Structure 1
């Protein structure tokens, strides 16, 4: 099972020496995701693997349907090693499609339904994607019509497959499954050459520019990463996890998608965030673990009827920040977390000391991760208690962005540690080092877990004929953590758009709507540092002063 059986040009694979080491110390799992699913389905065929919208899927059902779909995709013309754009929400059908692709060796490009011409065009071109999965009933937009338009523009996209819907002339998942006998499917997939070191999926990095950076994830390391994270949170075969955010996210797959396969436990999926429903589902299904990387925790804090719900089954709730406030609100152990798609996740166990859960982001679940806090300029370790840039290397760490030598050039330290761009401080508690997030070096807005590159948005805003220049900064938001505020220098005599007009302009240019700024501030000239560079911290101070003045006036 070890080895690279279906190599993909442009992928930076781990060095053979490190692969040998990670297999030897069990940091990597020597299996493919498809193999793990088949084995779990044999042990627990009737056990429920996933629940969504009051419909459940047993391990046997998931194994059988994904076998049939995986074989059908190969028969229709997709090949092992091909990449496929994914614009799917969180549903049981998404689980089946992902598992089918994992078995067939078709590599999902984990985009979002909210992405538009800019993002999908760049991703399809960068990944040379041939397949395109699109959900017919997601939101109010016609994603199928959009996908058809993208196919017409692309030189690589060939196969459009519709999920949760049937349209004349287009392949759809239900028909593909129905038309493929299970016995033939198993024979077809048995011929697939796939090893544990092959690429599993293409995840996306939240960068500072508009060019998508693609992160290859591999079967062996992803399974090991998910297993270690689950153990950190004390998830086992008796646990039940709930997940209400995009399943295509790195966190969604590591926390909610793979643990059922690894442990034989159940994940409850929600197709959208609905706080009363979430609490009802926790009570109804006796959920033990909940995690949020987005706006779930702030919405929970705003919900005043928590006491109506029986949450005694819930052992922990992990969130990006403010865990001490959430714990008091829910009366459930809560902890902060931290994660990068480049291969590092921090967390804390439900019974960890209160300081660890509330005042730090925890630590890695993998004992073989090497973590350093370095001075960003000199790469020298900082002193005890001092803030430094978190740099790391380990079994799940990015080896290099896909087909992107320029991005790889500045992504690592001189001795091969990935540079997170995040500033941390370290705290040794009971002999274990835990880390507290202090801020970012890189220029982006973290809107509910979605990283918005400031440079990308600025370049699109500056296309507007009324705008001479623009700079985007993060502003605090009680629900999403951060939103984007755009500082604008208008052109003389021009009529500036309001927020709605600016958003419509940006979406019309092909930018995803969630990247649109949510506040506009006018300014005559941008502040600069002593060496003449743009001073964004000064812009943030200007914004904070204006927002504070608004609060005073409002009160």
Structure 2
């Protein structure tokens, strides 16, 4: 039984027979996320669920306050199945808002406080969002609540603005006032009237696509619970574990590694609103944190931090990172392992007691026995030979059944027998009888800047609108902290001078692009390199900037007073 109580037009649901088999096998949980949280709160009412420098929430407080907020949102006019934009940071209020939406059947849309007109406008239109949650104090020089009102004025669907950590203002609803104004008993009655079913949509996540139009990935209650708990089992997560999290809470990684294990297992989490490496290490020591994750700049910053020895990290059982776990483990003296995750429904990793070859030289394996993985030759359905690199393709209980309202994308995303094409190149390695996968690179044209994906086509199109630019191509350049940053190669118009980094960023932000997507280096070129068949050779551009950066680094090592070009 799929148990879809609030269907959303445009969502592709898992077929009923397949859903039933996943529930019977235990790959999906027979629970909604809200019910899982309620059960944990009954079992562990006084245990601390979330900790921050501003306070904490016990499981009872988290459950009761999210009940009251969820019911208040329904009373205010939102309905199960409605979508809601989120521009909130890593705070206790964000946790409450997410839990409330999950219980009420309101579908959060993964977005960031850093997103601006371009991204938010697209997400509102694509998702037909009716709700909008903002954190008023996220940035001292940018009024997110005013920005949300402006976006609502241009929308045919947005009706409800919820403001946290600041005045609600005209037409807005205060998150704290909504909680305070809803009695707990009344809230529980209201939420019981039309709760989400096991097969209902839990959230709208986003693909790390290559263009300016991200594809929406629906995730479902029972499916997402099973997905996160299978991953937790693979990592041998225990109820007495305590996570450190300093990255966005709306991302898939936060949901599967932290939020769902807290809600469903009773583990605890320490939240940081912004990454401060020294404070993070102090919190690990103070709260005896046992698990930490680096998806982005955390691990590289740790590698260069000179005062690591003054911090007590003895409670840490595992530090998970995207790559180079061997170097991090040698530096920290803590078990480390590489990871791989894709929002379309696959997580790979290794527990702390796995062999070093598995933890260091691969991204691990899936924790779900029903997941099937293949390595195929690109643009074909032919498996690669053993030991050869191929495109990772997978299908299983949490594999995306289809992007939201995107028939063209869906037609290209799968093999003929339903394996999702990741665009990621991998090699397979058998370690102590377990087949694990090592990440080798990407087929798709995007940049992974500290875990945030930047679609090159989106940025190139906007740069091309600059009056001094004839053509522009964006490529990834290596960066020691973020892994990759964007380098834009520009062919200037005749008689024009290519814009410098700051001028170009000001131009792009004025067009509504999020600042983190702006190129961080400009290279002027007379013509782009091409392949033998006359197509743009982006790998050549990547090699050119990598070699140039390496040469500049070498020159600086020889002459510390020499600066690199702007």
Indicate the residue corresponding to 2:66 in structure 1. 66
Partner of 1:112 in structure 2?
A: 112
Contact 2:393–2:419 (8 Å) recurs in 1 = yes
Q: Output the CA distance in 2 between the equivalents of 1:331 and 1:495.
A: 51
Question: Are 2:306 and 1:271 aligned?
Answer: no
Give how far 1:54 is off: 4.5
Structure 2 equivalent of residue 165 of structure 1: 166
1:2 Cα deviation (Å)?
4.9
Equivalent residues of 2:135, 2:163 under 8 A apart: yes
Distance 1:552 1:63, change over 3 A: closer
Where do residues 400-411 of structure 1 align in structure 2 (5 Å cutoff)?
400-411=402-413
Is the deviation greater in 436-445 or in 140-149?
Answer: 140-149
Q: Deviation string for 1:149-180 (max 9, x for gaps)?
A: 10111111111110111233221100111111
Please give the secondary structure, in 1, of the residue aligned with 2:413: coil
Residues 480-499 of structure 1 mapped to structure 2, 5 A cutoff: 480-499=482-501
C-alpha change, 1:59 and 1:552, in structure 2 (3 Å) is closer
Distance in 1 (CA, whole Å) between partners of 2:507 and 2:54 is: 39
Residue 314 of structure 1, aligned match among 313, 316, 321: 316
In the alignment, which of 353, 363, 378 is matched to residue 355 of structure 2?
353
Q: Structure 1 residue runs of 4+, over 4 Å off?
A: none
Q: Tell me the TM-score normalized by structure 1.
A: 0.99
Q: What pairs with 1:426-465 in structure 2 (closer than 5 Å)?
A: 426-465=428-467
Task: Give the aligned partner of residue 192 of structure 2.
Answer: 190
Whether the 8 Å contact between 2:162 and 2:168 is mirrored in structure 1 is no
Q: 2:135: which partner in 1?
A: 135
Q: Contact between 2:2 and 2:19, CA under 8 Å: does it hold in 1?
A: no
Where 1:202 maps in the other structure, the secondary structure is: strand
Q: Which residue of 2 aligns with 1:146?
A: 147
Map of 1:5 onto structure 2: 5
Give the equivalent residue in structure 1 for 2:337. Answer: 335
Question: What does residue range 368-387 of structure 1 map to in structure 2 within 5 Å?
Answer: 368-387=370-389
Counterpart of 1:468? Answer: 470
In structure 1, the partner of 2:228 is 226
Name the residue aligned to 1:520. 522
SS in 2 for 1:531: coil
Per-residue deviation at 1:547? 2.2
2:478, 2:546 within 8 Å by CA — same for their partners in 1? no
Q: How far off its partner does 1:328 sit? A: 0.9
SS of 1:34's partner is helix
SS state of the match for residue 27, structure 1?
coil
Partner of 2:561: none
Offset at residue 548 of structure 1 (A): 3.0
SS at match of 1:177: helix
- How far did 1:527 drift? 0.9
Structure 1: distance between partners of 2:154 and 2:496: 34
The 2-side partners of 1:478 and 1:548 are apart by 12
Q: State the distance in 2 between where 1:262 and 1:37 align.
A: 6
- Cα distance change of structure 1 residues 29 and 550 upon mapping to structure 2, 3 Å threshold: same
TM-score, normalised on structure 2? 0.97
**Maintained 8 Å contact 1:446/1:482:** yes
Give the SS at the match of 1:217.
strand
Alignment correspondent of 2:242: 240
Q: Distance in 2 between matches of 1:552 and 1:261?
A: 49
Deviation of 1:546 (Å)? 2.3
Distance 1:292 1:225 in 2: 20
Query: How many Å separate the matches in 2 of 1:331 and 1:544?
Result: 31
**In 2, Cα distance between the equivalents of 1:548 and 1:258?**
42
1:215 aligns with 2:217: yes
Q: Are 1:30 and 2:25 counterparts?
A: no
Q: What are structure 1's unaligned runs of at least 5 residues?
A: none
Could you tell me how far apart the structure 1 residues matched to 2:516 and 2:74 are? 35
Distance (Å, rounded) in 2 between the aligned partners of 1:63 and 1:549? 56
Note the C-alpha offset of 1:377.
2.7
Contact 1:53 1:271 in 2 (8 A): no
Residues 116, 510 of structure 1: 8 Å contact kept: yes
Q: Is the partner of 2:157 in helix, strand or coil?
A: coil
1:3-56 CA deviation, whole Å, 9 max, x = no partner?
A: 111100000101112111111110000110110111111111111111112511
Alignment partners' CA distance in 1, 2:455 and 2:359? 29
1:57-93 Cα distance to aligned partner (Å, 9 max, x none): 0111011111111111011111111000000100110
Offset at 1:263?
1.4
Q: How does 1:36-55 map to 2 (within 5 A)?
A: 36-55=36-55
Instruction: Give, in whole Å, the separation in 1 of the partners of 2:271 and 2:504.
Output: 35
What SS is found at the alignment partner of 2:278?
A: helix
CA contact (8 A) 1:52 1:269 kept: yes
Secondary structure of the equivalent of 1:410? helix
Pairwise CA RMSD of aligned residues? 1.0
Contact 2:87–2:135 (Cα < 8 Å) also in 1: yes
CA contact under 8 A between 2:2 and 2:20: conserved in structure 1? no
Counterpart-to-counterpart distance in 2, 1:349 and 1:510: 42
Distance between the aligned counterparts of 2:330 and 2:554, measured in 1? 29
